[in-house]
Structure 1
Amino acid sequence: MDRTRMTPSWRKPAGMLLILLLIAIWCVLIVSLSATVGGWHWLLQLVFYIVTGIVWITPLKPLLRWMETGRWR
């Protein structure tokens, strides 16, 4: 077995920290909008929180690819 393949990469811990940072920033952003969103009709709030709950995942694909391969594309 190739020993270089078994050596852990620094990209994985760095990527995990970036993911946690992304989640924290996204949460702060969405919570800061809660006063405005709280005044909306409950159905609009539902749509907003479903969409924002899914959208934060979008930047994870390139980040996970970078963690595995070292390339963004």
Structure 2
Amino acid sequence: MRTEPTLRIPFGILGLCAALTVYAVVIARYVPELIGGWHGAFQTVVYLILGIIWLLPLRRFLIWMETGRWG
């Protein structure tokens, strides 16, 4: 556990917000053009998968924010 504060957490939060904003804009801009003609159920599945994908690198990122190591 940390005994002194670091700038990793505020920078990490700002970086996470920026990355999620970019991810959301890219998804909102390009995915509807690709799957707009699909049945609604298939679109729902695609958006559910895309909504979960951003969670995959989150564990390592939170570890880095807390400890300074990626592993």
TM-score (norm 1): 0.85
Instruction: Report the RMSD for the aligned CA atoms in angstroms.
Output: 1.3
TM-score (norm 2): 0.88
Q: Which residue of 2 aligns with 1:51?
A: 49
| Structure 1, unpaired ranges of 5+ | none
| Structure 2, unpaired ranges of 5+ | none
Q: Distance in 1 between matches of 2:24 and 2:35?
A: 14
Q: Name segments (4+ residues, structure 1) moved above 6 Å.
A: none
> What is the aligned counterpart of 2:68 among 55, 67, 70?
70
Aligned residues: 69
Q: Which residue of 1 aligns with 2:10?
A: 13
Higher-Rg structure is 1
Percent of aligned pairs with the same amino acid: 39
Are 2:4 and 1:26 equivalent residues in the alignment?
no
Q: Distance in 1 between matches of 2:46 and 2:35?
A: 8
Q: Which residue of 2 aligns with 1:42?
A: 40
